[in-house]
Amino acid sequence: MPTTAIVEAAGVGYEIHIALPTYSALLDKEEVKLYVEEIIAEDSHRLFGFGSKGEREIFRQLISVSGIGANTARMILSAYTAAELRQIIATGNVRALGQVKGLGPKTAQRIIVDLKDKVLKIELGEEGGGKVMPADVLFAPETNPIKEEAVSALTMLGFAAAASSKAVDKILKANPGAHVEAVIKEALKIL
């Protein structure tokens, strides 16, 4: 599932919530290194994992903004890489930030105002390449694992299954060889 990873450490499996760039970096790897942030709420303890310290720091900055929770921050980091997001915030691009599902212009503006000076101080380091699913494999529409994985990820992020499926179908019709990460990013812009 592109929204979570189970990581074993010292014989214990931990469910770690991840963004799409982290998913791509983890694909097909048995040993991984994640930078983890623990979010403790009244009724839950959740772990969020990132491929780089810079990505985790951007997540921390995002959740420091009033009205931005961990899931919204993860959705923002799924729509844009840490480097793209840093550039969007630093240049005050409200329109690009507002394309993320659930972010209206006021919230996008608040993120930019609160973080504009802070994001340029964040050292991003390497963004992690990771492997992606092969695009040259053709599947019948009813058994398309890319569609299934994308729709599953979108529903885990809180979108309706029917709307997610329709958006993914539209994207795959236009670009049948798209990787699952690209499909999900485009769907986040449509939904």
Mind listing the pLDDT tens digit for each residue in 82-129?
Answer: 888 988 998 888 888 888 888 888 999 999 999 988 888 887 765 433
Mind listing the pLDDT tens digit for each residue in 30-65?
Answer: 888 889 999 988 888 999 999 888 899 999 999 999
Q: Where are the domains of the chain?
A: 4-119, 141-190
pLDDT of residue 122: 81
Architecture of domain 4-119: Orthogonal Bundle (1.10)
CA distance 127 to 25: 9
Mind listing the pLDDT tens digit for each residue in 118-177?
Answer: 888 887 765 433 322 222 222 233 457 788 888 888 878 888 877 888 888 899 888 888
Read off the tokens for 174. Answer: 């236009």
Strand order in the sheet with 4-9: 4-9, 12-18, 45-50, 35-40
Class of domain 141-190: mainly alpha
pTM value is 0.65
The C-alpha angle with vertex 56 and arms to 17 and 58, in degrees rounded to 5, equals 115
141-190 shares the fold of 4-119: no
